[in-house]
Amino acid sequence: MKLKYHVPRGTIDYLPAYFEKWKAIEKIWRKLTHVYGFKEIQTPMFEHTELFIRSAGETSDIVSKELYTFEDRGGRSLSLRPEGTSPVVRAYLENSMNNLPQPVKLFYLMPMFRYERPQAGRLRQHTQYGVETIGSASCFTDAEVIHLAMSFYKELGFDGLKIQLNSLGDKETREKYKINLINYFNKYLGDFDEEYKLKLQKNPLRILDTKEENLKPIVENAPKITDFLSVRSRNHFETLQNYLNDYQIEFSLNTRLVRGLDYYNDTVFEVTSNKLGAQDAIAGGGRYDGLIEQFGGKSTPAFGFGAGMERLIFAMEKHSLNIQESSNVEVYLVAAESVAKQRTMDVLFELRKERISSDLDPFFEDKVGKQLSKAAKLGAKFAIIIGSEELLNDTLTLKNLESETQEKISLPEIIARLKRK
RNA sequence: GUGAUUGUAGCUCAGUUGGUUAGAGCGCUAGAUUGUGAUUCUAGAGGUCGCGGGUUCGAGCCCCGUCCUUCACCCCA
C-alpha cells in the first residue's frame, strides 16, 4: 500500500511496545523524584519567543537556528519550547513560588522541540525529564541533584556511565578567563579555519570541546578555567567534590566541559555513555544563579538538570538493559459455541467490573483454536472457555495459557483468584 | 546549515552486462482440525521497485532533480 503521509522528519510514533519500556522507566523516575522531595510541573509547549532568546542567549545554536518559531493569529511570536529550564523559571516567578518554602524543588517530563538534523539519539521532538531546584545556593543542592540522577541510572541497571564535572565560576571569572583564552588562542590563529575564527570572537569557550583533531593539542594546553575561580567559586566546587566523594559518586573533572546555554555558572555536569556514538550525553545540567533575576525576579540561585527520554531508551538498548511493564490483557474469553455468546459477554463485563483486565474476540469466531491462538498472541495469561457444557453446569473453564493446565471453576472463584494476584 | 549514505511485500533482504509475467524467508489470512494455542502440510492475499523527469526499442538497474533513512560536522538530550 502506498501511504500518502508519514511522520515529519525527526519525529517518531510512540508505539505500544515502546511505551511498555517508557512506562516502566517513568514509574521509577516518578518514584525517585518523590523520594528526593520533588514535585511535578508542566508548562505550555510554546512560549513567547523572547523568553528563549533572553535565557539561552541570542548566539546559542538553540536560539539562532533550532527554534520552531511561528506567529499566531494575533501577531505574537511564539516558539515551541527547546528546553525546560527557562519555562520552569518563568512559571516559578509568574506563580509567585518565591513565597513558598525555599528551595522549590520541581521535576518535569515534557516534550521539547529543536530544528536539528536527526542523527543517532537525536530527534526534532524529544521528551526531557529533569529537575530544577530554585532558591538554594547550597552546595548540598548540587550534590543532591547529581545524586538523584545517578540513583536513577543505577536503578535502571546502568553500569559504566561517567559523570563529567566542571565549574564555570561566576561572571567575573568567566570574563577574566575569556580574555586569557582569546590571548592564548590568538597565538594559534594559523591553525584556525574561518569557522573557528568566528567562534573565537563569539564564544571562545566553545572551542574547548572541539572534536577537531588538529586543534586538540592546542586546546589541551589552553589555560584552565578552574585556575581562575574566585575564592567563593573554588570553595563551592571543592565542597561539591567532597560531598560526591562522601556519597561514593564517581566523577571526573573535565575543564573543557562547557555547556551550550549561556545561563550557567559555577557547577556544570554531564552524564555520558561510551556506547552512544557522537551523541554521548545522557544528561546534562548545572547551576544558573543569574537567570531568575534576569527574568525580573529577585536574585535567586538555582540548580537543575535535564535529560532525554528517547535517548535514555536508546542508551538502555545499547547497554543491553531490558525493562518493560507489560500492557497485555490478562484474561481472554473464548466463546466455544454461539449459544455461549451472551454468557461470555456477561462474564467479560463482570470481570471488568472487578477491574480485571480482560478481552474477547469481537467477531465471536466459532473456532476455539483460533480464539485461543489470538489469546496467546495477545500475551494473555489466562483464557476462559465458555460453551454449552459450561452453561449447563454453571461453571467456567479457566485455562492457564503458560502452564497449559485448565480446570472448571465458578466465576466468583475465578474473580477471587485473579484479584489476589 | 555542511558533508556522506540509504530507499524493492507488514519485517529482513535477493534481483546477473538494462530484456518479457519482480523473488525468498519470516509474518498475515484460510483450510487440513465443527471445544483447545505449538509443529507440520496445502492454498491465498499483499509491490505503479520512495517520488518526478530524462536516456533507451525496452529502466528496479543508467543520468538529473527531489523527498525520506542513516551517519558525521555544527550543536545537543
DSSP code string of A6-37: -PPTT-----HHHHHHHHHHHHHHHHHHHHTT
CB atoms within 10 A of CB A73: 5
pLDDT at A410: 95
User: What's the CA–C1' distance between A158 and B25, in Å?
Assistant: 36
Assign domain A331-420 to its CATH superfamily.
Answer: Anticodon-binding domain (3.40.50.800)
State which amino acid sits at residue A167.
S
Strand B and A216 CB separated by under 7 Å: no
Domain A16-170+230-318 has CATH 3.20.20.70: no
* Helices marked H in A247-383: 291-294, 309-318, 341-353, 368-377
Give the span between the Cα atoms of A317 and A158, in whole angstroms: 11
Work out the average pLDDT over A394-413: 93
Give the span between the Cα atoms of A162 and A319, in whole angstroms: 14
Helix (H, G, I), strand (E, B) or coil at A404: coil
User: What's the CA–C1' distance between A209 and B69, in Å?
Assistant: 29
Q: Is the dihedral of CA A318, A319, A320, A325 positive or negative?
A: negative
User: What's the CA–C1' distance between A34 and B11, in Å?
Assistant: 41
pLDDT at A2: 61
By C1' distance from the Cα of A199, the closest nucleotide is B74
Which is more confidently placed, A159 or A279?
Answer: A159
Strand B and A142 CB separated by under 7 Å: no
DSSP code string of A42-81: ---SEEEHHHHHHHH-TTSHHHHTS--EEE-TTS-EEEE-
Residues A284-340 pLDDT 10s: 999 999 999 999 999 999 999 999 999 999 999 888 888 888 889 999 999 998 889
Do the domains A331-420 and A16-170+230-318 match in fold? no
pLDDT band of A206, cuts 50, 70, 90: confident
Q: Which of A285, A271, A308, A279 is nearest to A127 (CA)?
A: A308
pLDDT above 80: residue A261: no
Strand B and A124 CB separated by under 7 Å: yes
* Domain limits, chain A: 16-170+230-318, 331-420
By C1' distance from the Cα of A60, the closest nucleotide is B75
Chain A residues 385 to 414 whose Cβ lies within 7 Å of strand B are 385-390, 397, 399-402, 404, 406
pLDDT above 80: residue A392: yes
Residue tagged 590568538 (cell numbers): A186
User: What's the CA–C1' distance between A342 and B77, in Å?
Assistant: 52
User: What's the CA–C1' distance between A66 and B50, in Å?
Assistant: 27
User: What's the CA–C1' distance between A2 and B16, in Å?
Assistant: 29
Helix (H, G, I), strand (E, B) or coil at A127: strand
Give the span between the Cα atoms of A223 and A204, in whole angstroms: 12
By C1' distance from the Cα of A271, the closest nucleotide is B77
DSSP code string of A340-373: GHHHHHHHHHHHHHTT--EEE-TT--S-HHHHHH
pLDDT band of A57, cuts 50, 70, 90: confident
Residues A100-148 pLDDT 10s: 999 999 999 999 999 999 988 899 999 999 999 999 999 999 999 999 9
Chain A residues 326 to 365 whose Cβ lies within 7 Å of strand B are 336-337, 365
Q: Which of A54-58, A207-211, A238-242 has the highest mean pLDDT?
A: A238-242
Nucleotides of B under 7 A from a protein CB: 1-3, 10, 28, 30-31, 33-38, 46-48, 51, 67-77
User: What's the CA–C1' distance between A346 and B30, in Å?
Assistant: 30
Which pairing describes strands A69-71 and A46-48: parallel, antiparallel, or unpaired? unpaired
Q: Is the peptide bond before A111 cis (omega within 30 degrees of 0)?
A: no
User: What's the CA–C1' distance between A136 and B20, in Å?
Assistant: 79
